[in-house]
Chains A and B, each alone.
Chain A
Amino acid sequence: MGKFWSLVFLLVPVLGVAIFAVSPWYDHWLPRDISQHGHTIDHLFYFILWLTGAVFVVTEVALFWFLWRYDGKPGAPVKFVHGSHSLEIVWTILPAATLLFIAIYQMNAWANSKIRNPAAGPDGIYGTADDMRPMLEVTARQFEWRLRYPGLKAEGKLGDADDIFVVNDLHVPVNEEILLELKSADVLHSFFLPNARVKQDAVPGMKIPVWFRCTQTGSYDLVCAELCGWGHYKMKGRLTVESREEFDKWLAEKWKEQEATQDPQVAEGDVE
């Protein structure tokens, strides 16, 4: 029976690799990357996938082989060894060096995604509200995304009477650095753009800067990724990436709609 059980354990690397190899063909894989920094994240993902995949196959096949080879016979002699100092050193140093390498290798990508705020000054570590010129403000609340764009009149400043308010319909111009300020009106939420490889929790009482640059036009999902109550699943937004002209046109239309239906002062008070 030992051989049978060895083969059961061999199923793990065989099927494991097969599932990962087949999935991309059925579109069960990373969603299309539309952002500039996304390919760095994807590259890192593939790098770790290949590395861990190799370790996975080697260790699982070794386990299979030892089970197959040393399938017990009553009274068979065993290797009476208690360990190996040199082996311990090898399999301590090698993984340690590899892990340290991964740690250092990815620091730059992390810094670009979360630390190097494009609007901050040269010393700006974690852009404060003053030195930021957010392109829009996103306020998450149960269970919708409230977006606030600076109006067309006052040179793109937020907090004016001409701010434009949109719900769940996030539009951004393509090939431009987007800097938004993320807030929450009630509980924790998480601003997740799967295609742009962006995720940031929204925390009540905090204004958190988020930045990304989309390189492809189209319409994509905006997902809430942090449990925010019973309606968490339906807190669904839409990301539309379009050319600058289309974006300006859309914004102007929204402004017209807003003017026609409500007094902006009231809307502002509502969001605050």
Chain B
Amino acid sequence: MSTITVGSHAHDDSHGHAHAGSFLTTYVFSKDHKVIGIQFLFSTLIWFLIGGLLALGIRWQLAYPWSDMPVIGKMLFSSEGGQISPEFYTVLFTMHATVMIFFVIIPILAGAFGNFLIPLMIGADDMAFPTLNMLSYWFMWPAFICVGASFFVEGGAAKAGWTSYPPLSLTDLNGQTLWLMGITFVGVSSMMGSINYMTTIIQMRAPCMTMFRLPMTIWAMFITAVLQAFALPVLTAAGFMQLTDRVLGTGFFIPDGWSANNSPMAGGGGQPLLWQHLFWFYSHPAVYIMILPAMGMVSDIIACFARKPLFGYKPMVYSIAGIAGLGFIVWGHHMFVSGMNPWLGMTFMVSTMMIALPSAIKTFNWLGTVWGGNIQFTTAMLFALSFVSMFIIGGLSGIFMAATPVDIFIHDTYFIVAHFHYVLFSGTAMAVFGAIYFWYPKMFGRLMNERWGKVHFLLTFLFLNGTFFTMHILGVVGFPRRLADPYHYATFHHLRPMNVFMTWCAIGMVATQVIFAANFILSLFFGPKASRNPWHCNGLEWQAPSPPGHGNFDFQPVIYRGPYEYGSPEVDTDYYPQTQPPPQTESPQKAGESPAVQPAGH
């Protein structure tokens, strides 16, 4: 593997300084990976708030169907008399999922943390293609505009579910067209990012940073980038096919002799199930795009605060690779009752069962990491531990759905809603909170308030379980998702009190995020100044200044070991930075000082 040489690094540095000019190129159209990462972070956090409020709309309807929403109802739905109409309800859950998946989770993991951390953690001065990197952020804006504007066009925003199954999605008005365009722009942005991440991780590692000395975060980002590069083109193509079905009169997804709403439809000869295959061929790998980086970051945080090496580094790497590989052959488990040939269901069931295995291996290794450690309960650690605790639930509930006969009953019920919220909110979003508390000092040079961080953690943790754990029970009763008013069915009539409880937990959960927002914003200005390495961490990023300047490192990092040598008997401290030369060859150096460059080794 090639690594950058000292000479080229110096050259890049001077090249970088030429950029540090006007406000516009420094903070807006910046090519610095750190600024781009922080741009992604702020944009996605704002969409996180919007997505959360959309969820509250869903929860309100399920707790108090067809009743006036207090205070904000008149403001938001004045045309409907302060109530959520059945049509607007379909918009709510469609856009909640769209915003959370495409504008929050994927870009906050890959865009914000991927961008910020990859060059810092591998010892590079920036991404391989800085201009492409800048474009990957700015291509999110047309998507933001398309989806944001779709709320105000005739017929409202997309309302065929985030899965956009035709033919229903073909009957929608303009909102669906804007949705498809938005998703295509997100796809272009992710594609630019993934090419850049792969190239950077392969080509720009610091001297002696071998692949098996990379932190888990980088391994996860790398494999995520591979997943995106191979799966995304399918979604983009499918999106275009649906777009041409809608506007050009093709018939990829329209069966013969089909009409809806009493209007004759052009096209024909297509197959609605084709969309489901194409969509899930992307969107199942996308499920792993939405969790693998979180798994990587959690591994780093847990090892750091357990003050102990990560248990089973290589099995952890192999299981990420295993999840990614198997992730391409399990998409059919979303379609067990779709009308797909049931023999296919049998094969997808076996592959789906097998994908639980690498997840189990990862969980056992996290437990192994905590075992025998010297645990420091920082806010970041609490969030990372809650990821493990919650991922166990999300992983185990997946087995119910993988079991095809059981899935006949729980498919499209709240059991699946519980499952993916345990993976995506209780899992990924909690890991993201942990990652924000953990890397905030590196991003902004100041620490967040720990006391309020822990209050934020405790309340979020309690409320999220109140909201999502009870969903399993609803699912066991068969409570279907996406129903604006399920209570007129005798089977589900008695479930409303539980839904009221869940709704108030959800309101509490969203309200709790005010604590987080205040902590985040106030710490930008008033937080205590952070040293280079406030957590006494081994990772390379902690050897750079906080926050790192343009070009990242004020010395040429050379790597001597993997990132998890906590509590090593070789040194007196309980951590052993990757750049610190071993004591027998040279005198130990303090973190932050420039170690002598070792030309040997590359």
Q: Are A199 and B476 in contact (CB under 8 A)?
A: no
Q: Are B405 and A28 in contact (CB under 8 A)?
A: no
Whether A236 is near chain B, meaning CB under 8 Å from some CB there, is yes
Q: Are B350 and A233 in contact (CB under 8 A)?
A: no
Interface string of B337-362 (1 = CB under 8 A from A): 11101110110011001101100110
Whether B403 is near chain A, meaning CB under 8 Å from some CB there, is yes
Binding site for B on A (CB under 8 A): 1-2, 5, 8-9, 12, 15-16, 19-20, 23, 27-31, 40-41, 44-45, 48-49, 51-52, 55-56, 59-60, 62-63, 66-67, 70-73, 75-84, 87-88, 91-92, 95-96, 99-100, 102-103, 106-107, 109-111, 113-115, 125-126, 142, 186-188, 190, 192, 194-195, 197-206, 208, 220-221, 223, 225-234, 236
A31-B477, A103-B353, A110-B349 known; A186 and B469 CB under 8 Å? no
Q: Closest B residue to A203 by CB, please name it.
A: B339
Q: Are B473 and A60 in contact (CB under 8 A)?
A: no
| B343: A residues at CB distance < 8 A | 115, 125-126
Q: Are B408 and A199 in contact (CB under 8 A)?
A: yes
Q: How far is the CB of B474 from chain A (nearest CB, A)?
A: 8
Q: Are B312 and A227 in contact (CB under 8 A)?
A: no
Whether B406 is near chain A, meaning CB under 8 Å from some CB there, is yes
16 A-B residue pairs with CB within 8 Å: A12-B393, A44-B403, A71-B377, A78-B306, A87-B312, A88-B315, A99-B354, A102-B399, A103-B354, A106-B403, A106-B406, A186-B258, A187-B171, A203-B339, A220-B490, A230-B90
Q: Closest A residue to B270 by CB, please name it.
A: A205
A66-B371, A70-B372, A201-B337 known; A83 and B311 CB under 8 Å? yes
Q: Are A106 and B405 in contact (CB under 8 A)?
A: yes
Q: Are B569 and A31 in contact (CB under 8 A)?
A: no
Q: Closest B residue to A45 by CB, please name it.
A: B406
| A113: B residues at CB distance < 8 A | 405, 408
Q: How far is the CB of B500 from chain A (nearest CB, A)?
A: 14
Q: Closest A residue to B405 by CB, please name it.
A: A109
Q: Are A63 and B389 in contact (CB under 8 A)?
A: yes
Q: Are A110 and B404 in contact (CB under 8 A)?
A: yes
Report Cα–Cα, A114/B390, bound state, in Å: 33
Stretch at the interface among B31-39, B159-167, B541-549: B159-167
| A76: B residues at CB distance < 8 A | 374
Residue picked from B310, B389, B484, most chain A C-beta under 10 Å: B389
Q: How far is the CB of B261 from chain A (nearest CB, A)?
A: 8
Q: Are A23 and B476 in contact (CB under 8 A)?
A: yes
| A107: B residues at CB distance < 8 A | 346, 349
| A70: B residues at CB distance < 8 A | 306, 370-375
Whether B68 is near chain A, meaning CB under 8 Å from some CB there, is no
Q: Are B90 and A232 in contact (CB under 8 A)?
A: yes
Q: Are A114 and B315 in contact (CB under 8 A)?
A: no
| B470: A residues at CB distance < 8 A | 19
Whether B82 is near chain A, meaning CB under 8 Å from some CB there, is no
Report Cα–Cα, A159/B514, bound state, in Å: 63
Q: How far is the CB of A209 from chain B (nearest CB, A)?
A: 10
Q: Are A48 and B400 in contact (CB under 8 A)?
A: yes
Interface string of B318-346 (1 = CB under 8 A from A): 00000000000000000001110111011
Report Cα–Cα, A231/B425, bound state, in Å: 29
A91-B360, A206-B339 known; A78 and B377 CB under 8 Å? no
Which residues of B from 230 to 254 have beta carbons under 8 Å from A?
none
Q: How far is the CB of B187 from chain A (nearest CB, A)?
A: 23
Task: Tell me how many residue pairs across A and B have CB atoms closer than 8 Å.
Answer: 316
Q: Are A227 and B491 in contact (CB under 8 A)?
A: no
| B488: A residues at CB distance < 8 A | 234, 236
Q: Are A232 and B408 in contact (CB under 8 A)?
A: no
A107-B346, A233-B485 known; A83 and B458 CB under 8 Å? no
Q: Are B365 and A103 in contact (CB under 8 A)?
A: no
Q: Are B491 and A221 in contact (CB under 8 A)?
A: yes
Q: Are B489 and A223 in contact (CB under 8 A)?
A: yes
Interface string of B270-292 (1 = CB under 8 A from A): 01110000000000000000000
Q: How far is the CB of A138 from chain B (nearest CB, A)?
A: 13
| A109: B residues at CB distance < 8 A | 405
A1-B377, A77-B567 known; A48 and B90 CB under 8 Å? no
Q: Are A59 and B363 in contact (CB under 8 A)?
A: yes
Q: How far is the CB of B335 from chain A (nearest CB, A)?
A: 9
In the complex, given contacts A31-B478, A205-B258, what are 15 additional A-B residue pairs having Cβ atoms less than 8 angstroms apart?
A8-B458, A28-B474, A41-B409, A44-B406, A66-B370, A72-B374, A78-B567, A81-B309, A87-B364, A106-B403, A110-B342, A201-B337, A204-B255, A220-B490, A227-B160
Q: Are A78 and B461 in contact (CB under 8 A)?
A: no
Q: Are B483 and A233 in contact (CB under 8 A)?
A: yes
Report Cα–Cα, A121/B312, bound state, in Å: 54
Report Cα–Cα, A155/B308, bound state, in Å: 77
Q: Which of A19, A63, A232 contacts B385 (CB 8 A)?
A: A63
Report Cα–Cα, A111/B386, bound state, in Å: 39
Q: Closest A residue to B339 by CB, please name it.
A: A203
Whether B495 is near chain A, meaning CB under 8 Å from some CB there, is yes
A19-B469, A188-B272, A206-B339 known; A78 and B308 CB under 8 Å? yes
A55-B396, A91-B361, A103-B350 known; A67 and B370 CB under 8 Å? yes
Q: Are A44 and B405 in contact (CB under 8 A)?
A: yes
Whether B3 is near chain A, meaning CB under 8 Å from some CB there, is no
| A80: B residues at CB distance < 8 A | 308-309, 567-569
Q: Are B389 and A88 in contact (CB under 8 A)?
A: no
Whether B494 is near chain A, meaning CB under 8 Å from some CB there, is yes
Q: Are A194 and B478 in contact (CB under 8 A)?
A: yes
Q: Which of A99, A205, A227, A229 contacts B255 (CB 8 A)?
A: A205
Q: Closest A residue to B375 by CB, please name it.
A: A72
